[in-house]
A = this chain, B = another copy of it.
Amino acid sequence: MAELHLLSPRGFIANGIYAGIKIRQTPDVGLLIAEAPASAAAAFTTNRVFAAPVKVGREHVAKGTLRGVVINSGNANACTGKQGEKDARRMCELAAAVAKCDCKAAEILPSSTGIIGHLLPMEKVERGIIEAGQNLGASAEHALAFGDAILTTDTKRKTAAAQFKIGKQTVTLAGICKGAGMIGPRVAVGAKAKQATMLAYLTTDAQIAPTVLRKLLQDASDGSFNAVTIDDHMSTNDTAVILASGASGAKIAGPKAVKTFAAALAEVTQSLAYQIAADGEGATKVVTVTITGAKTPADARLMARAVANSPLVKCAMHGNDPNWGRIVSAAGLAGAAFDPDKATLTLQGTVVFDKGTPTVIDAAAVSSALKEKEVRVDLNCRLGKSSATVWTCDLSKEYVTINADYHT
């Protein structure tokens, strides 16, 4: 699978270039173009404060087809009023023009990520779009360049892909994403959606109806992007988009094919979400919080998020401190049904609290187990059959360093 990339699914070309928006000299403007109209769905932030590109993107994806995506990093084009909206529309116009595919601005979805509250440096952005359009291609290098153009405080590229058969045809599904801080997405397909700067772009050469794609993207997002949190700060720009070119000829229709496609989509999006947690600002480890036996699915999610978002739990994880009382108390404060006298808490496989009472543990051994790059926190509530998993990371001094001085 290692060789698959965002442009492995047939029917797409892309590019990314450095236009001088970011200080760090890596690509900051990118274009992804479908060679023919692609079936499309997108999920956006549900923050009441949403960026101009989110507003424009919602409009443009509403019909269920897109010809491409234009993105910039280094500036979120959020809280920028009417001029911001004009700028987002201008990005689409230019992208449509340089894509040389006889498409309209209304078929391009724009995305931006970076600082909030500053107008886009449009001269640089425009020059960047034109330059990116001059060398579109489908190679792995083109995929890399586009992918790099969405990164901000990320320290690693985040990519995933899957291949499967529908009848005799091979379908490829690939994705890239960005996100390391301001991560607590709760994206939704449709007009009323939520936000945190997580951007994800998915391509596939399957043939699939927009209505089906929308539902599958929402389900996949709920189990992946919407289940990762770095700082629970839902952004103004969160966007997850999937474009289906249909170029494989494989039709996703009927329960079996839909199930197969959904499984691949879940695999790819969950891999991306996990990579976001692993690259959380200042993170040294991923913490996977799993709640089982909750009374309702909503209760399970509430508790998983409360544990994953507690700065006290995250600091304890950073210090390899088996201070599990913080985990149990976080579950208790979530507003969900929870009875500590029925619950069992397991840290890295060791039961530390069982039915209201601490177990006798070797604290040094548990602490040592917490030094792994992957920490599992499992809380069985024994109140019902619902479960939820949330991925997060530890809270380090480095997170403070990064965020106390992002602006200046």
Residues of A within 8 A of B (CB): 46-50, 76, 78-83, 115-119, 181-182, 184, 194-196, 231-236, 310-312, 315-316, 318-319, 321-326, 328-333, 336-341, 352-353, 355-358, 363, 367, 395-397, 399-408
Contacts and interface: CB of A to CB of B under 8 A. Distances in A.
Contacts of A236: 325, 329, 332
Nearest to A364: B408
Given A49-B340, A325-B76, A407-B322, A312 B182 contact: yes
B81 A235 contact: no
B403 A333 contact: no
A185 to B, nearest CB: 10
A231 B405 contact: no
Contacts of A50: 332
A233 B311 contact: yes
Dominant secondary structure of chain A at its interface with chain B: loop
Contact of A231 (B233, B311, B321): B311
Nearest to A234: B333
A310 B116 contact: no
A48 B235 contact: no
A323 B403 CA distance: 10
Nearest to A356: B81
Contacts of A331: 48-49
A79 B323 contact: no
Q: How many copies of the polypeptide does the oligomer hold?
A: 2
A196 B329 CA distance: 9
A95 to B, nearest CB: 25
Given A233-B311, A329-B235, A358-B79, A397 B401 contact: yes
Contacts of A395: 311, 400
Contacts of A330: 233
A324 B404 contact: no
A321 B408 contact: yes
A232 B407 CA distance: 25
A341 B48 CA distance: 11
Contacts of A194: 333
A129 to B, nearest CB: 24
What 8 pairs between A and B have smallest CB-CB spacing?
A116-B325, A319-B404, A49-B332, A315-B403, A81-B357, A234-B333, A48-B332, A397-B397
A151 to B, nearest CB: 18
Given A321-B405, A358-B79, A47 B332 contact: yes
A323 B406 contact: yes
A358 B80 contact: yes
A79 B328 contact: yes
B116 A339 contact: no
A311 B397 CA distance: 12
A63 to B, nearest CB: 26
A99 to B, nearest CB: 31
Contacts of A405: 319, 321
Nearest to A282: B400
A400 B397 contact: yes
Nearest to A312: B233
Contacts of A355: 81
B117 A358 contact: yes
Given A81-B356, A233-B333, 20 more contacts: A46-B333, A48-B331, A49-B338, A50-B332, A78-B325, A79-B353, A82-B356, A115-B325, A116-B326, A116-B329, A118-B358, A182-B329, A195-B332, A234-B333, A319-B404, A319-B406, A319-B407, A319-B408, A321-B405, A399-B400
